[in-house]
């Protein structure tokens, strides 16, 4: 057999048309699953290799999509990536995943590398909003490569985003603590240069205002999303003349650290201090003292970001599509915040 097997060879072997073979190899939804699997199995047996470069030149598409996340070792971002892949793979797209580790240089390098790889689009959760990164992000738009932000976004004309309502999430979580009798509620926030943390803090403040509780700046601490950071935050809060009786954390990991520190000091949860986290990480529901948390619907967020990308890449009009999809947060109320 020739070293260069073609789709015509596969078609002849299976007694079907070359067009059917081509569609099956490219995951065309018009082809049945049985036919697609038969073609793929036959192609593998015949050692057929698709010429991806030729395909890209003909279609003007690489069928590769870049995804940029701050951290891959996060259940939230892993679930978002899963949602993206589940939506894109059936229509023939492959996902290239990169992470920034919250580093703006790596963020710029990742964007440049994906553009050089000629991806058809970039789905991104930003690590920061520093001006040093602006020109690199703007370069994506200038090259007419679809850019969709998810979770963490930057306001840019012509760029779509998929987020949850972080203001509402902060409001509802704080309201839950108030309903449990908390009067002095602390807030462990993240990087306040990022819109998601700004909005969560605003929601927290509004809930206090609506319930005639005083906002105390001493109760607001910027912390990293880590157990150690949560422990350190509680150490500072307990050093105040009037320590809080409730904690709303923008991170489940910081919430876990806060709980560990409180319990080691003999402070009962939720009797003495109620704790509410954010992210609905798997460990929050499996602990003996399960942790209340805000569910961000990461799987749905990933799927929706992919759908927005597909809508943009398939858009034949000259008018750019700009969508701002905002998902509703869901509270998962558990033992750590339940007194009543």
Q: Which of 12-21, 25-34, 144-153, 328-337 has the lowest average pLDDT?
A: 25-34
Report yes or no: 264 and 300 within 8 Å, Cβ to Cβ. no
Residues 47 and 57: their CA atoms lie apart, in Å, by: 23
**What's the mean per-residue pLDDT of the chain?**
90
For the CA atoms of the chain, what is the radius of gyration? 25
Mind listing the pLDDT tens digit for each residue in 192-237?
A: 989 999 999 999 999 999 999 999 999 999 999 999 999 999 999 9
**Alpha-carbon torsion 72, 78, 83, 88, what sign?**
positive
Complete edge-to-edge strand list for the sheet that includes strand 330-332: 220-222, 185-189, 246-249, 274-278, 292-295, 330-332
CA 310 to CA 295: how far, in whole Å? 26
Is the pTM value of this prediction over 0.75? yes
Which residues, 6+ apart, have CB-to-CB distance to 131 below 8 Å? none
Most confident of 22-31, 60-69, 82-91, 318-327: 82-91
Q: How deeply is 234 buried, as exposed, middle or buried, from its count of CB atoms within 10 A (0-12, 13-18, 19+)?
A: buried
Asked whether the CA dihedral 231, 68, 279, 207 is positive or negative, the reply is positive
Q: Tell me the average pLDDT across 315-320.
A: 68
**Which candidate, 176, 204, 189, places its Cα nearest to that of 274?**
176
Rounded to 5°, the CA angle 320-76-127 comes to 60
Q: What is the pLDDT of residues 55-66, one digit of tens each?
A: 554 555 778 999
Q: How far apart are CA 328 and CA 25, in angstroms?
A: 38
Residue 13's φ and ψ, nearest 5 degrees, are -65, -40
What is the C-alpha separation between 45 and 336, in angstroms, rounded? Answer: 57
What is the separation of C-alpha 36 from the centre of its chain, rounded to a whole number of angstroms? 32
pLDDT score of 213: 96
Determine contact, residues 247/188, Cβ cutoff 8 Å. Answer: yes
Record: fold of 7-50: 434 Repressor (Amino-terminal Domain) (1.10.260)
Of residues 45 and 329, more confidence is placed in: 329
**Sorting pLDDT into bands at 50, 70 and 90, what band is 136?**
confident
Q: Is 62 strand, coil or helix?
A: coil
* Topology annotation, domain 62-163+298-327: Rossmann fold (3.40.50)
Q: Is the per-residue pLDDT at 80 higher than 90?
A: yes
pLDDT category at 299 given cuts 50, 70, 90 is very high
Sign (positive or negative) of CA dihedral 73, 74, 80, 86: positive
More confident residue, 43 or 123: 123
Residue 174 pLDDT greater than 50, yes or no: yes
**Is pLDDT larger for residue 315 or for residue 336?**
336
The H or E element spanning position 106 is helix 104-116
Spans of all domains in the chain: 7-50, 62-163+298-327, 166-296+331-337
Number of other CB atoms surrounding residue 282 within 10 Å: 10
| Average pLDDT of the segment spanning 149-161 | 90
Q: What is the pLDDT of residue 57?
A: 45
Q: Let me know if the fold of 62-163+298-327 is the same as that of 166-296+331-337.
A: yes
**14, exposed or middle or buried, with CB in 10 Å at 0-12, 13-18, 19+?**
middle
Query: What share of the chain in percent tops pLDDT 70?
Result: 93
pLDDT at residue 141 in the model: 84
335 has a pLDDT exceeding 90: yes
Among residues 223, 229, 225, 163, which one has the least CA distance to residue 199?
Answer: 163
Q: Measure the CA–CA gap between 272 and 135, rounded to whole angstroms.
A: 49
Residue 1 in this model has a pLDDT that exceeds 50: no
Any idea which fold 166-296+331-337 has? Rossmann fold (3.40.50)
**In the predicted model, is pLDDT for residue 17 greater than 60?**
yes
């Amino acid at each position: 057999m020739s070293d260069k097997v073609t789709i015509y060879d596969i078609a002849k072997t299976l007694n079907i048309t070359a067009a059917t073979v081509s569609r099956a190899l490219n995951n065309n939804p018009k082809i049945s699953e049985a036919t697609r699997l038969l073609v793929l199995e036959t192609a593998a047996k015949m050692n057929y290799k698709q010429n991806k470069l030729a395909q890209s030149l003909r279609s003007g598409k690489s069928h590769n999509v870049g995804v940029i996340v701050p951290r891959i070792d996060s259940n939230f971002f892993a679930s978002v990536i899963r949602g993206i892949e589940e939506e894109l793979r059936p229509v023939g797209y492959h996902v290239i995943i990169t992470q920034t580790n919250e580093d703006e240089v790596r963020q710029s390098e990742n964007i440049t590398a994906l553009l050089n790889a000629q991806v058809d689009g970039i789905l991104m959760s930003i690590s920061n909003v520093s001006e040093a990164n602006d020109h690199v992000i703007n370069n994506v738009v200038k090259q007419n490569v679809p850019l969709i932000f998810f979770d963490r976004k930057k306001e840019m004309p012509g760029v779509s985003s998929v987020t949850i309502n972080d203001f509402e999430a902060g409001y509802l979580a704080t309201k839950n603590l108030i309903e449990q009798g908390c009067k002095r509620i602390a807030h462990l926030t993240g990087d306040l240069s990022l819109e998601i943390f700004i909005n969560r803090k605003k929601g927290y403040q509004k809930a206090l205002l609506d319930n005639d509780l005083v906002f105390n700046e001493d109760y607001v601490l910027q912390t990293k999303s880590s157990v150690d950071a949560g422990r350190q935050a509680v150490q500072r809060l307990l050093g105040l003349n009037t320590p809080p009786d409730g904690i709303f954390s923008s991170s489940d990991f910081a919430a876990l650290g806060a709980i560990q520190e409180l319990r080691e000091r003999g402070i009962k949860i939720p009797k003495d201090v109620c704790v509410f986290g954010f992210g609905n990480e798997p460990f929050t529901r499996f602990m003996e003292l399960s942790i209340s948390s805000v569910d961000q619907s990461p799987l749905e967020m990933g799927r929706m970001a992919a759908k927005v990308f597909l809508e943009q890449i398939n858009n034949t009009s000259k008018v750019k599509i700009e969508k701002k999809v905002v998902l509703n947060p869901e509270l998962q109320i558990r033992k750590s915040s339940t007194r009543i």
